[in-house]
Chain A
């Protein structure tokens, strides 16, 4: 009986060795092969990188207009100053037209992460308002950012920290732009 066990164990070891070699080979292939030949479903993914601002010469600037209990927006085409991020320029033009926020309040930068844009405001923007003004600010910024086709949603940050609210609407989730 003891004699017949030895060949069985040997074949088992051989099988395990073969399996190990196959797995090892697969790992080496994934690690060493150029990324473009590794199948997409097993390729290591990088975090989405910040994309650059699109180059445009004109943007639409929105100005709120009272319509009874509601608000509509006038639109005008404005040249973007050279070297300026068009989104930053358009949002700041909108803010200036509302008189809701402090004069010093402005958008400093837009971080584009794929289809999401993180709007970086300065500290003067960190001021809550009534619901009427909150709607004008939210809709105006959503419309302004909606003109950039690559952006689907926005987030609000003040000096690198997420904003809780402009009044009563929670801003912890991405806010969908208006097109």
Chain B
């Protein structure tokens, strides 16, 4: 009687487990597996439960040191060692990688259908100084190093990586690290120094980039060409010159090839018919148009199947080459890296660009104030701080009327330290930061017009600045000088933009010591319309500009 009761209880206890168990969890199923840091496909892999069984022979592809002894596969990396028991499946020797990856601090990510998985490394340590960068990852990774201009910076991407939650950092002021996309950690070092051209970066758990020699400017096209000819090991097809150091994914077909497509960013490779005769430039003639100017070469767009980022591609043949216009689905941040016959384009969607100003938190910063008058006109009858406040109040009222939550760093004539202005935005988790200023120039009545500044190499700051610039230009009251990085003034940029953590701009409305600019800027009507132009630019940036 007692034995029967016990058996019944045992069966009842096992029912839920049996119901939730499928054969797939018991018998290994074939799956596709990718080693994300190098894109290598691992063959003949199996899935059992949440574990990935990999043929031991396949692990050599990952540059892991593997040996088998006493039924165990022992995997050694420079940073750690792990092991797991081996097992024979269909006559092949397999090892479960779940335990090994966990020991290494790496990650196994299954897709929604559970029939494909990717192995991700984690970036565990980042250290930088003025002349060096050191990055440690939990698995071997092959980074790509890119030199970008305006402002000069070196971008190091670690594909197939994610940031370790307890990431150890020791960063110099001119560098930053972040999860750039779902599968890439990016380290950016703002420096004018050129890259050490010993540019082979194989799979490795520790990446070191050290600049040798004195500070140098970036290589010009001609300098690069000269260097290329002096470097017999240089391969034009799989190495990239002027800006990028390593190229991982050359397009395999078509002049325009999408390489990655994520929710917030996408990358494209653009193949040209021939080497451009001068460095490629790009501009944003409209908020949703990226224009590439290509001298001495051709580009044949053929048919472009639109995606979430690029709607259509237009090609205009010019006397010296061609112009390629990428018509975007919405205003997007852009970064272009160039080589002599190949371009890489990165497009980034603005955060919180849901098409609405309403609901956004926007900090409006009226520059200077209190005993800090800012610039003054030659007659010393007008102070910059007063014009800044008048325009800022107009802008705040208009933003609020559109449903935005507006925070002014000052509403009266008071002094607020620079850092505090940025901290106000950070504390309130603002979506955007807009600082309003008036410019001055040492010689009166020589320079006239507006400049919209963004911080350093901020891609989204640049987009916001361009959106505002194009709206200010439409006003026609004052010339528009351009969209400038604040690094044109000094390497660290402007304090308010540097310390605020969201996309931001500093708008220099006009020149206080130019008589025409001054007369215009004093007018309340201009102040109101100028504020409207900034508002419109913000709306365009947020995808709310079509009404």
CB within 8 Å of B: which residues of A? Answer: 64, 66, 69, 98-100, 127-136, 138, 164-165, 167-170, 173, 175-176
Contacts and interface: CB of A to CB of B under 8 A. Distances in A.
Contact of B490 (A69, A100, A169): A169
A138 B438 contact: no
Contacts of B491: 176
A100 B492 contact: no
Interface stretch (B151-159, B393-401, B442-450, B458-466): B442-450
B300 interface: no
Interface stretch (B202-210, B250-258, B480-488): B480-488
Contacts of A127: 373
Given A98-B442, A133-B441, A165 B495 contact: yes
A136 B492 CA distance: 16
B490 A138 contact: yes
Given A129-B440, A130-B440, A170 B495 contact: yes
A158 B16 CA distance: 78
Interface of B: 173, 367-368, 372-375, 384, 417-419, 437-443, 446-447, 451, 453, 481-482, 486, 488-496, 498, 506, 508, 511-512
Contacts of A128: 368, 372-375
B353 to A, nearest CB: 27
Contact of A130 (B418, B437, B482, B490): B437
A168 B485 CA distance: 13
29 contacts: A66-B443, A99-B443, A127-B373, A128-B373, A129-B374, A129-B440, A130-B374, A130-B508, A131-B453, A131-B494, A132-B439, A132-B440, A132-B447, A133-B375, A133-B440, A133-B441, A135-B490, A138-B489, A138-B490, A165-B418, A165-B495, A168-B367, A168-B437, A168-B486, A168-B495, A168-B496, A170-B498, A173-B492, A176-B491
A164 B373 contact: no
A136 B375 CA distance: 14
A131 B505 CA distance: 14
B414 to A, nearest CB: 15
Contacts of A135: 488-490
B511 to A, nearest CB: 7
Contacts of B418: 164-165, 168, 170
A67 B384 CA distance: 25
Contacts of B442: 64, 98-100, 132-133, 136
